[in-house]
């Protein structure tokens, strides 16, 4: 349960950074806010797999969970690409990639929550 909250907090932090960036408010800092959100999501996924049992969900693999994991890795990879695109100064492509990330990450959260709680 604690891990679920961490995933939602990470997503909300990312959304705050993306919103600030789209509005043109402190774009350098908003990119760092997005990095923090993605990093929290990444660590919340990786740390339980290294043996820290307090954050582990403890569920069996299902189609939703596996799809969510694949989509999560896609989101992380896409965000790395978005950072490089931003550093190259291609803002319109950066905004498109961030929008795709927001949608993919939301679908990822829904898939994982559905797989965990069989809603």
pLDDT digits (tens, 9 = 90+) for 71-93: 999 999 999 999 999 999 999 99
**Taking Cα atoms as reference points, which of 36, 51, 42, 32 lies closest to residue 77?**
42
| Packing angle of the helix pair 27-46, 2-23 (nearest 10 deg) | 160
Average pLDDT in the 64-77 region?
A: 89
Q: Which residues fall within 8 angstroms of residue 33, CB to CB, at 6 or more apart? A: 13, 14, 16, 17, 20
pLDDT class of 24 with cuts at 50, 70, 90: confident
Residue 89's domain comprises 2-117
The whole-angstrom distance between residue 26's C-alpha and the CA centroid of its chain comes to 21
Residue 115 has pLDDT above 50, yes or no: yes
Residue where the block lists tokens 């919340």: 44
CB count in 10 Å sphere of residue 91: 13
Write the secondary structure of the chain as one string of H (helix), E (strand) and C (coil): CHHHHHHHHHHHHHHHHHHHHHHCCCHHHHHHHHHHHHHHHHHHHHHHHHCCHHHCCCCCCCHHHHHHHHHHHHHHHHHHHHHHHHHCCCHHHHHHHHHHHHHHHHHHHHHHHHHHHCC
pLDDT class of 54 with cuts at 50, 70, 90: very low
Number of independent structural domains in the chain: 1
What pLDDT sits at residue 106? 95
pLDDT class of 98 with cuts at 50, 70, 90: very high
């Amino acid at each position: 349960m604690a891990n679920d909250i961490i995933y939602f907090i990470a997503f909300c932090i990312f959304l705050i950074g993306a919103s600030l960036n789209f509005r043109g408010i402190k774009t350098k800092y908003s990119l760092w806010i997005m990095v923090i959100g993605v990093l929290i999501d990444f660590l919340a996924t990786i740390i339980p797999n290294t043996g820290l049992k307090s954050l582990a969900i403890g569920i069996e693999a299902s189609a939703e969970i596996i799809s969510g994991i694949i989509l999560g890795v896609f989101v992380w990879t896409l965000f790395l690409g978005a950072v490089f695109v931003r550093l190259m100064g291609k803002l319109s492509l950066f905004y498109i990639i961030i929008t795709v990330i927001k949608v993919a990450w939301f679908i990822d959260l829904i898939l994982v929550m559905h797989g965990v709680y069989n809603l």
